[in-house]
Homo-oligomer: A and B are copies of this chain.
Amino acid sequence: MSTPKSISPFELRQRIRRGEHTGNTSGYCPGYVQGNLAILPKAYADEFLMFCQLNPKPCPIIGLSSRPGEYRLPDLGQDVDIRTDVPRYRVFANGEVQTEVTDIKEYWQDDMVAFLLGCSFSFEEALIADGIEIRNITEGVNVPMYRTNIPCRSAGRFSSTTVVSMRPMKTADAIRAIQICSRFPSVHGAPLHFGNPAEIGIRDINAPEFGDPVTINEGEVPVFWACGVTPQVAIEAAKPPICITHAGGHMLVTDLSNSRMAIL
């Protein structure tokens, strides 16, 4: 039985918990915040928290465990259990992927801290509502993402350069996108850059390191946002003995509304 996309976040999480929905969450529960998950043991979590605080544009925290071992995140939604309510998890050991699972009860440890980070779905929704085309959505592919030379501030074992996502648009739309996204600092906020990719160390705009290339039409400029892949790169570099994230596109869907992410 397929899940209706307009289902409530609570109902979707319950289905996911019961194993009835194991696919991605793209397009589900429109209007509600979806977030990137990172779970780390306390010895790494403290440094990761500092890394996020120092680099809020790529790593905007919208929720975390209230203490080590806490897998319930009531601030993010009714009855959220972070061990079961994400449709697909990726388990890392020493920075390398070990397996993908649909439930992490067997991996959960008493010292684990879960972080939920804001993601671009929220601001893409606001841009679309304003009539701005999001090329990767139009073309049905993943957003193109690139490593840059923009340094992040390091925290303990966590360090990275900034990974950015790119959306091409007409100049007038880029100005409007800067205005709209400035209202959403907790989901990456305003773009970091537009125009010349080389200026931020991107060699080939047609060869993204993550995601897929998209068409850039005549008269359009590439617009670059800080991307939630940045903390993943930092985690891989820190090589914690264990780390659990969501699998790409398989997010935690919260009860928070996207519009409540706006500061204005």
Interface of A toward B, CB cutoff 8 Å: 171-172, 174-175, 178-179, 182, 190-196, 199, 219, 221, 264
Residue from the set A175, A182, A191 with the largest chain B CB neighbour count within 10 Å = A175
Which residues of chain B have C-beta atoms less than 8 A from A199's C-beta?
171, 219
> Given contacts A182-B179, A182-B182, are A195 and B195 in contact (CB under 8 A)?
yes
Which residues of chain B have C-beta atoms less than 8 A from A175's C-beta?
178, 190-194
Listed from nearest, the 4 A-B pairs whose CB atoms lie closest are: A178-B178, A179-B182, A171-B193, A175-B178
Which residues of chain B have C-beta atoms less than 8 A from A182's C-beta?
179, 182
Across the interface, A179 reaches (CB within 8 A) one of B174, B190, B221, namely B190
Q: What copy number does this chain have within its complex?
A: 2
Whether B171 lies near A195 (C-beta < 8 A) is yes
14 additional A-B pairs beyond A171-B193, A172-B192, A178-B178, beta carbons within 8 Å, are A171-B195, A171-B196, A171-B199, A174-B194, A175-B190, A175-B191, A175-B193, A179-B179, A179-B182, A179-B190, A182-B182, A195-B195, A196-B219, A264-B264
Across the interface, A195 reaches (CB within 8 A) one of B178, B190, B193, B221, namely B221
Task: Kindly report which residue of chain B lies nearest to residue A182, judged by CB atoms.
Answer: B179
Q: List 26 A-B contacts (CB under 8 A).
A: A171-B193, A171-B194, A171-B195, A171-B196, A171-B199, A172-B192, A172-B193, A174-B194, A175-B178, A175-B190, A175-B191, A175-B192, A175-B193, A175-B194, A178-B178, A178-B179, A179-B179, A179-B182, A179-B190, A182-B182, A194-B194, A195-B195, A195-B221, A196-B219, A199-B219, A264-B264
Bound: A192/B175 CA distance, A: 8
In the assembled complex, the CB of A167 is this many whole angstroms from the nearest CB of chain B, namely 14
Which residues of chain B have C-beta atoms less than 8 A from A179's C-beta?
178-179, 182, 190
Which residues of chain B have C-beta atoms less than 8 A from A178's C-beta?
175, 178-179
In the assembled complex, the CB of A149 is this many whole angstroms from the nearest CB of chain B, namely 13
In the assembled complex, the CB of A54 is this many whole angstroms from the nearest CB of chain B, namely 18
Bound: A171/B182 CA distance, A: 16
